[in-house]
Amino acid sequence: PLPPQEQELTIRGLDSSSLPPTQTGGAPKEKEKPNFKPTGLLAKEANRVAGTKISLKYHEPPEARKPPPSAPWRLFIFKGPDTVGTIELGSQSCWLFGRAREVADVWLEHPSCSGQHAVIQFRYIEKVVEEDEFGGRKKVGKVKPYLIDLESSNGTELNGKEVEAGRYVELRDKDVLRFAGSEREYMIMLPPRE
């Protein structure tokens, strides 16, 4: 009879740890070490809307602010030449557009729109307007509306041009938004000053 393989290798001076584990011997099976790296499951659970299986795609940034009463932004909704509705945007800092009724602030009915399609976010942005002789800077801040497409399937248009997904785009008075293949147009406006 032949000697066991492990014995034969040690006689020849070879290491058996490079061999696959076998019933008669070979390298011992290495224990799997625990993995303590973040999996993202806690974050996903934190984004989940209570009572649903929906996870929010968007969270407000630190610079989020409600628009001041001195700037009463409105969103006019048109279907063809007819005005279908008006939304006063001053009541909150963030407006989520989408087909998911559980989370959307403005429900989009068209089937080509995503569940969480886009957001109008009011943000406080500071700009340096002048420097004094000592190098001090005077900053002026303003709350402005921004649009961000939430990587929707069929995109968002601003004034007839496709908006890049996942990027904030500043909205100006009388800008027109369209979501996916919907015929409805959404015009953001400030009322005329009296």
The pLDDT, as a whole number, for residue 194 is 60
Q: Per residue in 129-152, pLDDT tens?
A: 777 777 777 888 899 999 999 999
Name which residue leads in pLDDT, 12 or 64: 64
Dist. CA 168–CA 120, nearest whole Å: 9
Residue 16 dihedral angles phi and psi, to the nearest 5°: -90, -5
pLDDT at 14: 57
Residues 43-52 pLDDT 10s? 666 667 666 7
pLDDT averaged over the chain? 85
pLDDT band at 79 (very low <50, low <70, confident <90, very high): very high
Residues 145, 156 contacting (CB under 8 angstroms): no
* pLDDT given for residue 54 in this prediction: 76
Dist CA 133 CA 114 (whole Å): 53
Give the H or E element holding residue 142.
Answer: strand 137-149
pLDDT at 44: 66
Give the per-residue pLDDT at 18. Answer: 57
Q: Which residue has the tokens 């109008």?
A: 120
Given a cut of 80, is residue 30 above it in pLDDT?
no
Please report the pLDDT score of residue 82 as a whole number.
94
Q: Can you give the pLDDT at residue 191?
A: 80
| Domain ranges in the chain with CATH number 2.60.200.20 | 60-189
Q: Are strands 106-107 and 94-98 parallel, antiparallel or unpaired?
A: parallel
- pLDDT at residue 127, as a whole number: 84
pLDDT > 90 in the chain, percent = 57
pLDDT tens per residue across span 106-132? 999 999 999 999 999 999 998 877 777
User: 60-189: which CATH architecture?
Assistant: Sandwich (2.60)
Those residues with Cβ within 8 angstroms of residue 126's Cβ, 6 or more apart along the chain or in another chain: 139, 140, 141
Tell me the percentage of the chain whose pLDDT exceeds 70.
79
